[in-house]
Amino acid sequence: MAVVPAGALMRRAAFGVAVVAAELLAGKRRVGLLVGAGNNGGDALWAGYYLRKRGVAVSAVLLTPDRVHAEGLAAFRRVGGRVVPRLRDVDLVIDGIVGLSARGPLRPDAAEHVAHLEAPVLSVDLPSGVDPDTGAVSGPAVRAHTTVTFGCLKPVHALADCGDVRLVDIGLDGELHGPDLVELDIADIGVAWPVPGPEDDKYTQGVTGIAAGSATYPGAAVLATGAALLSTSGLVRYAGPAAEDVRARWPESICTGSITDAGRVQAWVVGPGLGTGLGAEAVLRTVLEAGVPVCADADAITMLANNPDLWDARDPDTLLVLTPHDREYERLAGPVGTDRVTAARKAAERYNAVVLLKGHATVIAGPDGRVLVNRARSSWAATAGSGDVLSGVLGSLLAAGLDPVLAAGCAAKVHALAADLASDGAPIPATSLLAALPDAIRAVRPL
């Protein structure tokens, strides 16, 4: 703002909004604006101005008539824009209620206008009512068909549903610092995914150890072992009371009844279905002492939360990835709250571990401050046993030697993709998600 003429950034932004609006209108001619008190409302009014100049009928509701972007309103009026008490018969709504300075959900008057909308909504910068920094929705909010944002993506675009997100360049490039959050794309994952070369054999690609399952929950062991087998072509060892079940389902795994004679591995997955009794504690201790990277999931997290002495078993240099869902997180570090990125960061720092906080938007924080986000495209992965699959995928990537933050990011993305591919619009059990892993990996691998 200091280096460009006053109002220039807003006009560039608004012009970008008008271009996308014209595209969404696809020949229709009536646009309504919801205009709030700040610059977001100013963007909407200027977008209305550009649309009017293209012959579109534009009406605007001013939510706070005494606090409105004055130049934007004057320009809008100059070209024949109408101010109305309520939007009626419009083909597209432009949401300029609040933008980056928004706090909290929509206030009742704005919520009332939004509740009655029938036309698709084009949000300026973010769907109003959704928190810009955390993506939290704690009350009424706009549901956007499309969001147009400026200069760079903001955390809300990675953490919440903003519809189709379009980025408009308004000339901020030189001013932007590196990203606070990173979302891996398919190409990043395709490059990172371990692939055997001519020199490889079953050991060189990393051996994954699975310490999971119990007499009560043998299925978790079967799912985690299968996921490791399907994710890389290295060897997978299983150790625990579900050895018979695992061997029957996965004859290619090497199974033993006890962790003490499991043999060497390059990474351990510990926890799914393991239980939390004394035997399980001894298993967790053995794994943490092994000096190889560990993915601690499910019951392993609960044990670490309940018995802090267990942390002493870990060599401080041992790479650890914790994969809690919200309730497991709460046992470890208190309530997650609405700011999932801060929650994951806090636990990563406290435990000197990579923390993968599961959910629709999975947040991965490294102890070095890196944060990755992966927002799922559907919620079909929210099913029993799907976390066991995730831990197996992640363990095999750790065994292959991937950096643990990258491993967690790759696992989260491929897991979510497998859920989409398996589901194709219908509910699926975790065994189907598991079976779709090869398709998901093929989909990310370079052609």
Ligand X SMILES: NC(=O)C1=CN([C@@H]2O[C@H](COP(=O)(O)OP(=O)(O)OC[C@H]3O[C@@H](n4cnc5c(N)ncnc54)[C@H](O)[C@@H]3O)[C@@H](O)[C@H]2O)[C@@H](O)CC1
| Residue list for the binding site | 220, 273, 325, 358-362, 387-388
Interface positions with K ion (CB under 5 A): 40, 95, 123-124, 128
Distance from C-alpha of 76 to C-alpha of 61, rounded to nearest angstrom? 12
- Residues 39 to 78: which contact ligand X by CB under 6 A? 39-40, 43
DSSP state of 277: S
Q: Minimum distance between the CB of residue 300 and ligand X, rounded to whole angstroms?
A: 41
Give whichever of 162 and 436 is closer to K ion, judged by the CB atom.
162
To which residue do tokens 């200091």 refer?
A: 2
Taking the CA atoms of residue 432, residue 437, residue 438 and residue 442 in that order, the dihedral angle to the nearest 10 degrees is 130
Give whichever of 11 and 325 is closer to ligand ADP, judged by the CB atom.
325
Q: Minimum distance between the CB of residue 32 and K ion, rounded to whole angstroms?
A: 14
What residue 123 binds from ligand ADP, K ion, ligand X, none (CB within 5 to 8 A, per partner kind)? K ion
Residue 374's nearest CA partner among 189, 104, 143, 167 is 189
- Residues 393 to 432: which contact ligand X by CB under 6 A? none
Give whichever of 116 and 261 is closer to ligand X, judged by the CB atom.
116
> CA Rg, the chain, in Å?
26
Q: Minimum distance between the CB of residue 125 and ligand X, rounded to whole angstroms?
A: 4
One symbol per residue from 318 to 357: x for binding ligand X (CB under 6 A), - otherwise; what is it?
----------------------------------------
One symbol per residue from 6 to 45: x for binding ligand X (CB under 6 A), - otherwise; what is it?
---xx--x----------------------xxxxx--x--
Site for ligand X contains 104 (CB under 6 A): yes
Give whichever of 103 and 177 is closer to ligand X, judged by the CB atom.
103
Which string of DSSP letters, residue by residue, matches 142-177?
---SEEEEESS--HHHHHS--SEEEEE--S-GGG--
Give whichever of 141 and 406 is closer to ligand X, judged by the CB atom.
141
To which residue do tokens 């690609």 refer?
A: 205
What residue 18 binds from K ion, ligand X, ligand ADP, none (CB within 5 to 8 A, per partner kind)? none
Q: Minimum distance between the CB of residue 126 and K ion, rounded to whole angstroms?
A: 5
Distance from C-alpha of 83 to C-alpha of 427, rounded to nearest angstrom? 47
Q: Residues forming the annotated binding site for (6S)-NADPHX?
A: 220, 273, 325, 388
Interface positions with ligand ADP (CB under 6 A): 298, 325, 358-360, 362, 376, 379, 381-382, 384-388, 390, 415
DSSP state of 365: E
Distance from C-alpha of 285 to C-alpha of 211, rounded to nearest angstrom? 11
Q: Minimum distance between the CB of residue 226 and ligand ADP, rounded to whole angstroms?
A: 13
Q: 148: which 2 tokens?
A: 């147009």
To which residue do tokens 């909290």 refer?
A: 104
Distance from C-alpha of 116 to C-alpha of 131, rounded to nearest angstrom? 22
Distance from C-alpha of 301 to C-alpha of 324, rounded to nearest angstrom? 7
Q: 40: which 2 tokens?
A: 């977001």
Give whichever of 98 and 246 is closer to ligand X, judged by the CB atom.
98
Q: How many CA atoms lie within 13 A of 15 on its CB side?
A: 8
Distance from C-alpha of 320 to C-alpha of 300, rounded to nearest angstrom? 12
Q: Minimum distance between the CB of residue 359 and ligand ADP, rounded to whole angstroms?
A: 5
In DSSP terms, 59 is beta-bridged to 32, 82
Indicate which single residue of 27, 103, 178, 309 sits in contact with ligand X (rule: CB under 6 A).
103
In one-letter notation, the amino acid at residue 48 is: G
Number of chain residues interacting with ligand X (CB under 6 A): 23
Q: Minimum distance between the CB of residue 78 and ligand ADP, rounded to whole angstroms?
A: 47
Give whichever of 102 and 295 is closer to ligand X, judged by the CB atom.
102
- Residues 116 to 155: which contact ligand X by CB under 6 A? 124-125, 150
Report strand pairing: 57-62 vs 30-35.
parallel
Alpha carbon of residue 341 to chain centroid: 10
Q: Residues forming the annotated binding site for AMP?
A: 358-362, 387
- Which stretch in 94-102, 241-249, 258-266, 400-408 sits in contact with ligand X by CB under 6 A? 94-102
What residue 10 binds from ligand ADP, ligand X, K ion, none (CB within 5 to 8 A, per partner kind)? ligand X
Q: Minimum distance between the CB of residue 151 and K ion, rounded to whole angstroms?
A: 15
Indicate which single residue of 4, 54, 89, 101 sits in contact with ligand X (rule: CB under 6 A).
101
Distance from C-alpha of 141 to C-alpha of 131, rounded to nearest angstrom? 9
Residue 244's nearest CA partner among 218, 211, 223 is 218
Q: 289: which 2 tokens?
A: 């002492």
Q: Is 406 helix (H, G, I), strand (E, B) or coil?
A: helix
Q: Minimum distance between the CB of residue 98 and K ion, rounded to whole angstroms?
A: 6
Q: Which residues contribute to the site for ligand X (CB under 6 A)?
A: 1, 9-10, 13, 36-40, 43, 98-104, 106-107, 110, 124-125, 150
